[in-house]
Structure 1
């Protein structure tokens, strides 16, 4: 009888422990399911404000997304945090910046989720109202930052002012100018100083973020600016995640979320139409 009692107690213990195990697994699955809909977005600058706004919208709730936003001001560190999984998705970089990062970090790559916007770079001048009026020998200020300088040179070529080497890439330099028929002089500057030196040169190339900070509107104050076409595809901003998360369904929903009409209205109103929506497939950038 004692043996029977021990067996009975043993069976009860096993059943109880099994019950706890099932409950634990169920709780863990529920927790993982809950975690999968919570997304940490790393960003910087104006994109912080945009995604903090998006996180509070009904659109995000309808898609079942819980969004948290973290400010990481250094782009390289932000990409590394994303590749390592410390940040789920990042929203700050252009297609060319993304390609450069992946080239330099082949063992820990990112993958693009979708396109967001283009912030046009502009050519500004207080002396001339048309790029055709810029005279021979004029001084044009251009960023000393490699990626911004290359972008500026491409814009000058698009404006018909110079010709670049046919192999010019997104990290090209002044040495890659093939033809400079008006013998322009180029003054390399810190790209944040553009609005302050606009009166000291004949023309200056300024990125949109810096222009807005200097109370300049690229669509109305520049004498020439980028438009959404194949010549500017490398400057289109994207959402990116680690390569291992390329098929994450919730992360992909962020692209759809960003392009919702009411969210786009908010962005347009807040940034005066200077963040031009680009809702294109990733194949457009390749």
Structure 2
């Protein structure tokens, strides 16, 4: 009888170990490390703790990496599974410059308007001849800023202007504007030093600015700004990962969106589109 009990205990212990191992494998399979920065980091920290993430069976870990290039490299190298910080234009520019370490887009998230800010001028038409405009010094945001200045009627760009365009591609500059390239995270700090500054909304929010009320001009959501829509990205080899794709649906959950709209004052405009949106 004792021998039988010993065998039974052994069997039960083996079954328990198998169950625990299965639970561990399941949890590991559904664990996703999301790399981010700024307000996007805050959003994903909220999502990671949310009931919606738990209901989706996702164990989300959030990792902060403040440099965009380093964050993309960490993603392709597997230190981060998915990243949340970049626009479609930034993503395309990165892939062009890193053909051996490409990323894949998982889905769209939002448009965060780029704004034109000034402490000297109250509207675009007030900007004087010869004024200095500070623009971002990274390729994707440089071209984005120049397109915004064209939309505002301040300059005209060459017809073949693309995602990696720069000030050399300005075809007409009637106000003889001067351009100063800056690290785009320093925008709010240089507002007192230059006439006009182009500031992305993540940076603006960190600096206490609201693009919809404090800028003198900002982007609108339309076909001309679709390349500036933000995305979730992963390493190219993971493009079909079903667990990672769940993050896109989770981001667009109505309760998550209510939180984002309230916390960021409506400055992160939701864009829930298929990736084919960028091809039309």
Range into which the TM-score falls when normalised by the shorter chain? 0.7 to 0.9
Tell me the equivalent position of 1:43: 36
Asked if 1:120 is matched to 2:113, the reply is yes
Deviation at 1:178, TM superposition (A): 0.6
What 5-or-longer segments of structure 1 have no aligned partner? Answer: 1-15
- Aligned counterpart for 1:270 among listed residues 260, 263, 268: 263
Task: Name 1:52's counterpart in structure 2.
Answer: 45
Question: For the residues of structure 2 that align with 1:252 and 1:40, how far apart are their CA atoms?
Answer: 13
| 2:236 equivalent in structure 1 | 243
- Mapped contact 2:93–2:139 kept (Cα < 8 A): no
Within a 5 Å distance, the mapping from 1:1-286 to structure 2 comes to 31-286=24-279
Shift in alpha-carbon separation, 1:191–1:34, aligned structure 2, 3 A: closer
Structure 1 stretch 27-36 or stretch 212-221: which is displaced more? 27-36
Higher mean C-alpha deviation, range 253-262 or range 272-281: 272-281
| Residue of structure 2 equivalent to 1:12 | none
Displacement after TM superposition at 1:101 (Å): 2.2
CA distance in 2: counterparts of 1:240 and 1:193, whole angstroms = 25
Relative to structure 1, is the Cα distance of residues 135 and 75 closer, same or farther in structure 2, using a 3 angstrom cutoff? closer
Gaps of 5+ in 2: 1-9
* Alignment-derived partner of residue 9 in structure 1: none
Matched residues in 1 for 2:247 and 2:47: separation?
10
Hey, what's the Cα distance between the residues in 2 that align with 1:116 and 1:124? 25
In 2, Cα distance between equivalents of 1:94 and 1:166: 22
Larger Rg: 1
Deviation at 1:259, TM superposition (A): 0.8
For the Cα contact (< 8 Å) 2:38–2:206, is it kept in 1? Answer: no
C-alpha separation in 2, matches of 1:197 and 1:44: 21
Instruction: State the SS of the aligned residue for 1:40.
Output: strand
Residue 23 of structure 1 and its aligned partner are, at CA, apart by 9.6
Q: What value does the CA root-mean-square deviation take over the aligned residues?
A: 2.5
- What is the TM-score normalised by the length of structure 1? 0.84
Aligned length: 269
Give, in whole Å, the separation in 1 of the partners of 2:208 and 2:231: 26
1:187-235 Cα distance to aligned partner (Å, 9 max, x none)? 3334334333334443221121222232221100111001122222222
Q: Distance in 2 between matches of 1:257 and 1:115?
A: 12
Query: Structure 1, residues 124-158: CA drift from partner, whole Å, max 9, x if none?
Result: 12233221232333332223333322211110011
Task: Flag the 1:95–1:253 CA change in 2: closer, same or farther, 3 A.
Answer: same
Structure 2 length-normalised TM: 0.86
